[in-house]
Amino acid sequence: RPERSVGVSVDGAVKDVNAPVAVEVVDSESKETTAVVGGGVEDVYGEDSATEDHFITPWSVSVASGYSLLRDPHHNKGLAFTKKERDAHYLRGLLPPVVVNHDLQVKKMMHNIRQYEVPLQRYQAMMDLQERNERLFYKLLIENIEELLPIVYTPTVGEACQKYGTIFKNPQGLYISLKDKGKVLEILKNWPQKKIQVIVVTDGERILGLGDLGCQGMGIPVGKLSLYTALGGIRPSACLPITIDVGTNNEKMLDDEFYIGLRQRRASGKEYAELMNEFMSAVKQNYGEKVLIQFEDFANHNAFDLLEKYRTTHLVFNDDIQGTASVVLAGLISALKLVGGSLADHKFLFLGAGEAGTGIAELIALEISKQTNAPLEETRKKIWLVDSKGLIIRSRLDSLQHFKKPWAHDHEPVNKFLDAVKAIKPTVLIGSSGAGQTFTKEVVEAMSSFNEKPIILALSNPTSQSECTAEQAYTWSEGRTIFASGSPFAPVEYNGKVYVSGQSNNAYIFPGFGLGLIISGAIRVHDEMLLAASEALAEQVTQEHFDNGLIYPPFTNIRKISAHIAAKVAAKAYELGLASRLPQPENLVAYAESCMYSPKYRNYR
């Protein structure tokens, strides 16, 4: 009986089995060897190994047969195994006799998932499917993205993280704790996949708007990487979720008997910095210069420091600072088609001056500077921020954290947010505070009093932390606001008209952004790449979308949108001399699409 398992090249690197390979079947009893050709597929996005470096060494690969094949999520097809495949791979009798096609499997799974009324149950059903049949999971997610995105990511993933210890079944990534100091490289080598292209890492200190969830923040990297694959076409085998566990200051977690992390107060200072430095060095040593490291949901003080420290030595990206900024800027560029004028003609007021708020503000200032050739110091003066102590002004300069200082302008002290709105009279109001219901009726009415079409973006996640709901924004502004939110809201009917609000979701940007970095072989992230991504996303909003009041395109066509974003980001990488995959493809959009992972089943022979 042939025993088939993943084969290895002469240099020890594991070849992804999705790529065209030679399959070598060795009979353990007769020692006879038969060579057959496997892999390869015709599909809309081409072969998903296109971004790999192709080695001269011929590959031999083997895939587990029989019962173990049904337990391998990377290769299991469930009832979709053909009769010929069942005979060839010792599956006869291990499955019911019916053969079901991929589309019918998707239909059945969606039917099953819709039976659950509780979102967390739907989340668990999706995670169970991912651990059972990877390609079915991604086909299901891609084809039903608008319905399932709120399940596999925000807002449901927030609840999943809060209850991660209770619902934890199988580990889905790497856990690196303070106890592993000096052994981080060894841990990275324990991960079975060796050709990693994207790492999403968190320390769990600021999960969405829910605060410090410690080790249970792992749900965020897992969810983000699912979207990298579904929306950006990055191969699942090239994605690695990691949680850095340095403890938690959340007493509820520490007292929870089901908590899965270190039961100690959160480490900081030198101890924290040394572990992170060992981690960053080990990643580069193990996976090379071109692996993308995305920092996710770190607290403000660490997020800015880590990005600043490693942006010149590693390919790093902070989605909370840079991804959020890019998607919001895209929405603002689109909104200008509805309200008129240029970015420089508008005045911006933020509630929240953390990672998201200052990141968005900086990218807006950069874009205005690019459009007007005005110095960055001047363009920043059009942007005002409010934090927990009130309007950020020059007289507070000495007490401000370093990332807030560029936004301290000359103005008398204003402590209350409503008073700041009335004093500044912004045309654009942006909430990134993580504090729910802070855009009150009085705030929205004030915005509407001095703007014909006020732009209001309530970005905080999950839904419970949103600064206001879509219904409140449209009702209080008498249907005049241009509204978008971080979490999804249902359409709103007001005075006989239905308003469909957009979702300013980072998932528009980071999957295509990551794909663009990978297909160009970029070695660093530059701010101009973020501007290129914003402009590419804004270009995808059509007149039909504008007519419906939308400033973002629907998610239904997200893979095409991601390909366009990837092409613009890659083009900027080549222009800046940061690309290493040469020569530059003539048609970057077509090349991006050809590199995207497809969940279509492979035929086994």
Q: What is the pLDDT of residue 547?
A: 86
Residues 6+ apart with CB under 8 A from 308: none
Does the pLDDT at position 521 exceed 70? Answer: yes
In this structure, the answer to whether residues 341 and 297 fall within a common structural domain is no
How many structural domains are present in the chain?
4
Contact between residue 291 and residue 512 where contact means Cβ atoms under 8 Å apart = no
For every residue of 160-221, DSSP letters joined together read HHHTHHHH--S--SEEEEGGGTT-HHHHHHHSS-----EEEEE-SSS-TTS---GGGGGHHH
CA distance linking residue 594 with residue 283, whole number of Å = 28
Identify the three-state secondary structure at position 32. Answer: coil
Q: What is the pLDDT of residue 506?
A: 94
CA distance linking residue 415 with residue 403, whole number of Å = 20
In this structure, the answer to whether residues 528 and 495 fall within a common structural domain is no
Active-site positions? 153, 224
Q: Is residue 167 part of a domain?
A: yes
- Tokens, residue 305: 């420091």
In this structure, the answer to whether residues 307 and 391 fall within a common structural domain is no
Q: What is the pLDDT of residues 311-342, one digit of tens each?
A: 999 999 999 999 999 999 999 999 999 999 99
Pairing of strands 455-458, 428-431: parallel
- Tokens, residue 54: 């192709």
Q: What is the pLDDT of residues 409-422, one digit of tens each?
A: 999 999 999 999 99
Q: Is residue 12 part of a domain?
A: no
In this structure, the answer to whether residues 334 and 391 fall within a common structural domain is yes
Identify the three-state secondary structure at position 10. Answer: coil
Q: Is residue 365 part of a domain?
A: yes
Strand partners, 21: 38
Q: What is the mean pLDDT of residues 393-400?
A: 96
* Model confidence, pTM: 0.88
In this structure, the answer to whether residues 290 and 371 fall within a common structural domain is no
Give a three-class secondary structure readout of 510-572.
HHHHHHHHHHHCCCCCCHHHHHHHHHHHHHCCCHHHHHCCCCCCCHHHHHHHHHHHHHHHHHH
Q: Is residue 373 part of a domain?
A: yes
Strand partners, 383: 348
- Judge whether 398 is annotated as a binding position: no
Q: Domain range spanning residue 124?
A: 67-144
Domain end among 97, 119, 144:
144
In this structure, the answer to whether residues 117 and 207 fall within a common structural domain is no
Residues 6+ apart with CB under 8 A from 208: 154, 155, 157, 158, 161, 220, 297, 434, 461, 462, 465
CA nearest to 596, candidates 508, 506, 505, 511: 511
CATH number at residue 421: 3.40.50.720
CATH number at residue 75: 1.20.1370.30
Span of 246-260, 368-382, 547-561, 585-599 with lowest mean pLDDT? 547-561
Calculate what percentage of the chain has a pLDDT beyond 90. Answer: 83
CA distance linking residue 246 with residue 290, whole number of Å = 27
Does the pLDDT at position 63 exceed 80? Answer: no
Query: What band does 18 get if pLDDT is binned at 50, 70 and 90?
Result: very low
- Tokens, residue 139: 């086909």
Q: What is the pLDDT of residues 435-478, one digit of tens each?
A: 999 999 999 999 999 999 999 999 998 888 999 999 999 999 99
In this structure, the answer to whether residues 177 and 281 fall within a common structural domain is yes
Does the pLDDT at position 69 exceed 60? Answer: yes
CATH number at residue 581: 3.40.50.10380
CA angle 369, 373, 377 (to 5 degrees): 50
Q: Is the peptide bond before 97 cis (omega within 30 degrees of 0)?
A: no
Contact between residue 208 and residue 297 where contact means Cβ atoms under 8 Å apart = yes
Q: In angstroms, what CA-CA distances link 431 with 301, 351, 459?
A: 20, 5, 6
Domain end among 262, 284, 314:
314
Q: Is residue 54 part of a domain?
A: no
In this structure, the answer to whether residues 484 and 541 fall within a common structural domain is no
Q: What is the pLDDT of residue 171?
A: 86
Average pLDDT, the chain: 90
- Judge whether 505 is annotated as a binding position: yes
- Tokens, residue 494: 């007001």
Query: What band does 605 get if pLDDT is binned at 50, 70 and 90?
Result: confident
Helix (H) or strand (E) holding 502: strand 502-503
In this structure, the answer to whether residues 583 and 531 fall within a common structural domain is yes
In this structure, the answer to whether residues 393 and 268 fall within a common structural domain is no
Domain end among 314, 338, 357:
314
What is the Cβ-side half-sphere exposure of residue 226, based on CA atoms within 13 angstroms? Answer: 32
Q: Is residue 18 part of a domain?
A: no
Q: What is the pLDDT of residue 463?
A: 85
Q: What is the mean pLDDT of residues 99-107?
A: 98
Q: What is the pLDDT of residue 493?
A: 94
In this structure, the answer to whether residues 442 and 361 fall within a common structural domain is yes
Q: Is residue 44 part of a domain?
A: no
- Judge whether 345 is annotated as a binding position: no
Q: How far is CA 38 from the centre of its chain?
A: 32
- Judge whether 320 is annotated as a binding position: yes
Q: Is residue 14 part of a domain?
A: no
Question: Would you give the DSSP letter of residue 388?
Answer: T
CA angle 317, 209, 348 (to 5 degrees): 70
Does the pLDDT at position 27 exceed 60? Answer: no
Query: What band does 209 get if pLDDT is binned at 50, 70 and 90?
Result: confident
Q: What is the pLDDT of residue 12?
A: 32
In this structure, the answer to whether residues 72 and 88 fall within a common structural domain is yes
Does the pLDDT at position 574 exceed 70? Answer: yes
